[in-house]
Structure 1
Amino acid sequence: MAEVATFAMSDQLLVVIDPVALRTDGESVRIAKDVLSAGAATKVCLPQGPEEFARALARRGSRRPVVVGDDRALMRAVSLLHRQRQLAECVLSVVPVGAALSLAGSLGVPTGAVAAARAVLEGVERRLDLLVDDSDGVVLGALRIPPIRDAEPSAGANGATAVGPGAGRPWLRTCQSLVRTLVPTRGTLPGESGPSRLRVEVDGTTLVDLDQPVEAVSVAPGAAGVAEVEVRPASVGAEASPLRAEGRTVTVSGAHFRYRADAAVSGPVRTRTWEVREGAWGLTVPAVG
């Protein structure tokens, strides 16, 4: 995570404003625009959807991209630049605006509009590691494999929770509940929380195998170029000690599982491999001192 020279105040900026940020906190967006425009030549873009967002980044030319938005907007920008194979040569800046800002904060970006905008103008580039999976997805911070405890029932068009065929017929709901109790499940289904049977391999070495149910698996950035992996086995009686390892490649396989990467939930998949790319992307952060 090396820091390099500060940026010139005369840099040309492409300010891409996520529409969600504009709806959520228009005042912070206005403040960020004012601070950035006062310190550099700016071109402001207000994309109305993912395609316009991608097009704006692709056509940035020599301008330094600045994303005004929440963690999802930051993730979208990094993912797009990665898939365009332009991430290594691009220094990305972000002014966090919105409800979900924990990822940006954990990466060293101020979560206040004024401080973040000043960091864009006066900050330094920090090179950060990236987790890239075998479907070309990226993880900026950390990922977690089950349980995902915030799964909610699907909602209908009017926002109401979807109702199954047993609605209004208590006797049918009772029979359905009895059948679910008597028929054994084939493992953890997508969206359920509970122990899963997964094989976790770190640099080709098995950390835990399918014969050991696990409560959770987490992968987070460690020292430069490696990831820290922690597996929490399902405990019976006394709490089981977590298993830990470090490595550049992490493969998880087994029954269908979902995983949370940064702020997004993906899956279900049967297997996924993540590889650490050292110093794969650059982010503007405040200068130290």
Structure 2
Amino acid sequence: MTEVATSAMSDQLLVIIDPVARRTDGESVRIAKDVLSAGAATKVCLPDGPEEFARALQRRGSRRPVVIGDDRALVRAVSLLHRQRELAGSVLSVVPVGSAVGLTTALGVPSSAVSAARAVLEGVERRLDLLVDDSDGVVLGALRIPPVPLSEAGSASTRAPWLRTCQSLVRTLVAARPARAPSVPAPGPARLRVEVDGSTLVDLDQPVEAVSLAPGGSGAAEVEVRPLSLGAEATPVRAEGRTVTVSGADFRYRSDAGVSGPVRTRTWRVWEGAWGLTLPGG
């Protein structure tokens, strides 16, 4: 992971305030905006929806984009820059505001509006790995097959922090989105083939309870497969690799900001150091 000092005080910032953040915590939005405006030249955009959000980001010019919002807003910004093939040359900053900020804080962004805004002004750029699938979708944090249901607890140390992040994201989807969130079937054993860099980690003849993968931070994905246990808890199977393919019966998966699928096969590749995020120095 590469660190690059930023001269944020002399930067011109494009501050994009997500509409969900404005509705859920206007006070934190105001505080963050005041801190940023006091430390740098800022242009503030108040998009009403995803299309205006995308236009604001696309027309940023030389201004450094700062997103005030939750995990979905951060994922939206990364996805847009990836599709425009401008992610490698961009540095994103984020001030987490909302109830679903587990991913953002897990990446190292302070949870308070004041501290996060100061990190935008005084922090350093860190290049982070990204998972990109064969439909050009991106994953910043962790991915789980089958999707984690709302009722599943996330306190087990072997499954945190990505499990808590997923649950927080789902609660926000249910509370904030006017449209119905995709239904998630109760998890159960699945028959999936999991291949890491072309080698089969588990095949269709071995039912599994769960598969998870996440960028490992060193140019490889960390993969964990939990076999179906009929008695004592089965030992997870773990591996690392740059390419992960999962195939089998139709399956859904939950990543940073929601549920995808059903699909019969999906391949994720690690893009090392693909995106830059401003984080506190030190």
User: In which range does the TM-score fall when normalised by the shorter chain?
Assistant: 0.7 to 0.9
Report the CA distance shift for 1:94/1:236 in structure 2 as closer, same or farther (over 3 A).
Answer: same
State whether residues 88 and 282 of structure 1, in contact with CA within 8 Å, keep that contact through their aligned partners in structure 2.
yes
Between structure 1 and structure 2, the one with the greater Rg is 1
Residue of structure 2 equivalent to 1:219: 213
Residue of structure 2 equivalent to 1:13: 13
Q: How many residues align?
A: 255
Separation in structure 2 between the aligned mates of residue 190 and residue 71 of structure 1, nearest angstrom: 20
Residue of structure 1 equivalent to 2:86: 86
Report the CA distance shift for 1:92/1:265 in structure 2 as closer, same or farther (over 3 A).
Answer: same
Separation in structure 1 between the aligned mates of residue 108 and residue 35 of structure 2, nearest angstrom: 20
Separation in structure 2 between the aligned mates of residue 150 and residue 109 of structure 1, nearest angstrom: 25
Separation in structure 2 between the aligned mates of residue 286 and residue 26 of structure 1, nearest angstrom: 24
- Counterpart amino acid of 1:84? Q
Residue of structure 1 equivalent to 2:258: 264
State whether residues 148 and 191 of structure 1, in contact with CA within 8 Å, keep that contact through their aligned partners in structure 2.
no
Question: Normalising by structure 2, what TM-score?
Answer: 0.87
Residue of structure 1 equivalent to 2:75: 75
State whether residues 142 and 256 of structure 2, in contact with CA within 8 Å, keep that contact through their aligned partners in structure 1.
yes
Q: Deviations over 1:107-152 (max 9, x none)?
A: 1100100000000011000000000000000000111111532389
Residue from 191, 200, 206 that aligns with 2:200: 206
- Counterpart amino acid of 1:51? E
State whether residues 190 and 268 of structure 1, in contact with CA within 8 Å, keep that contact through their aligned partners in structure 2.
no
Identical residues among aligned pairs (%):
80
State whether residues 128 and 217 of structure 2, in contact with CA within 8 Å, keep that contact through their aligned partners in structure 1.
no
Separation in structure 1 between the aligned mates of residue 8 and residue 265 of structure 2, nearest angstrom: 45
Residue of structure 1 equivalent to 2:23: 23
Residue of structure 2 equivalent to 1:240: 234
State whether residues 131 and 214 of structure 2, in contact with CA within 8 Å, keep that contact through their aligned partners in structure 1.
no
Structure 2 unaligned regions, length at least 5? 152-169
Q: CA deviation at 1:221?
A: 2.2
Residue of structure 2 equivalent to 1:279: 273
Separation in structure 2 between the aligned mates of residue 279 and residue 147 of structure 1, nearest angstrom: 27
Question: Normalising by structure 1, what TM-score?
Answer: 0.85
Q: CA deviation at 1:265?
A: 1.1
5 Å-filtered alignment, 1:1-289, equals: 1-150=1-150, 191-288=185-282
Separation in structure 2 between the aligned mates of residue 86 and residue 32 of structure 1, nearest angstrom: 26
